[in-house]
Amino acid sequence: MDSLNATGHAIFLELNEKIQGLEPSWREWAVGMLRPIAALAVVAVAMVLSYSQKLGLEKEMIYSIARAFIQLSAIGFVLEFIFNQANVAWIFLAYVIMVTVAGYTAGQRARNVPNGAYVAGLSIFLGTALTMALLVVLKVFPFTPRYIIPVAGMMVGNAMTVTGVTLKRMREDLRLQQGMIETALALGATPRQATVKQVRRALVVGLSPVLDNAKTVGLISLPGAMTGLIMGGASPTEAIQLQIVVMNMLLGASTFSGVLATYLSWPFFFTSTYQLQTKVLRDE
């Protein structure tokens, strides 16, 4: 029995040594995941409420949380790899992937807009690239993966939402006011002159959430970037300074992308003879 215990103890020590010495990143990841796993208790409560109210969202909640867990875990290791690379090509690769996914997602929201995914993708790319270039030129952020990729992710995400909403609202307004637009065209107005009010209204609707968020930041909510810095040990004043930069860049990127989306999609609503594409404006 003593020899068996000794053997078991030796095996335990050997395994522990392997875990402690050979796989530090995996060990740190496993220990760090204890808090997210504990936070699943909140999801369990939400599922109970969904079941009690007969909402039928339990499976959707499980799927959403599982997908988020897998995606975030995977991207964590990917970013750790990219951050350790000196080649800036990794920055462009990550950026292109983000823009591609964002363009497709925004295009799905505005799926009835002709070439909506391509228009959204190009608008997001140009709008966020312009904003990022200004930030780098002004030396707000250094051109390194650790800064550029997270910042680009925030800009692309906001630009995606604004672009999708703007394109969808633009088509809806053109469809609802088709008669007014055709009358303006018959009187000699150009397509841009005949639809400028609808386009402006779509931009206002698309940008409203970003503007409202900028107005209430710090009063109603503490944004993720600021909260993460504070919880990571940074002083509140340092976190505030970074958050101000973040709000500025989000507003700029969203505006650039939204305006570009309207200009790029405008021609697809008209024929070569400056008439409305009625088949594009048919009811969904």
Q: How many CB atoms lie within 10 A of CB 153?
A: 17
Average pLDDT, the chain: 82
Which residues 6+ apart lie within 8 Å of 158 measured at CB?
210, 250, 253, 254
Residue 15 confidence (pLDDT): 43
pTM, full prediction: 0.78
Q: Which of the residue ranges 81-90, 95-104, 184-193 has the most confident prediction, judged by mean pLDDT?
A: 95-104
d(CA 100, CA 94): 10
> Does 37 reside within a domain?
no
Q: Taking a C-beta distance cutoff of 8 angstroms, is the pair 267, 276 a contact? A: no
Check pLDDT > 80 for residue 230.
Answer: no
Q: What does the pLDDT average to over 22-33?
A: 61
> Does 128 reside within a domain?
yes
Question: Residue with structure tokens 């992710």?
Answer: 153
Counted domains in the chain: 1
> Does 52 reside within a domain?
no
> Does 144 reside within a domain?
yes
Check pLDDT > 50 for residue 19.
Answer: no
> Does 246 reside within a domain?
yes
Least confident segment among 133-142, 193-202, 235-244, 253-262: 235-244
Q: Which of the residue ranges 99-108, 184-193, 208-217, 267-276 has the most confident prediction, judged by mean pLDDT?
A: 99-108
User: What are the structure tokens assigned to 240, written together?
Assistant: 């505030």
> Does 5 reside within a domain?
no
Q: What does the pLDDT average to over 10-14?
A: 49
> Does 284 reside within a domain?
yes
Residue range of the domain that includes 117: 87-284
Angle between helices 58-83 and 24-32 (to 10 degrees): 150
Residue 98 confidence (pLDDT): 92
d(CA 124, CA 128): 6
Q: Tell me the chain's radius of gyration from C-alpha atoms.
A: 25
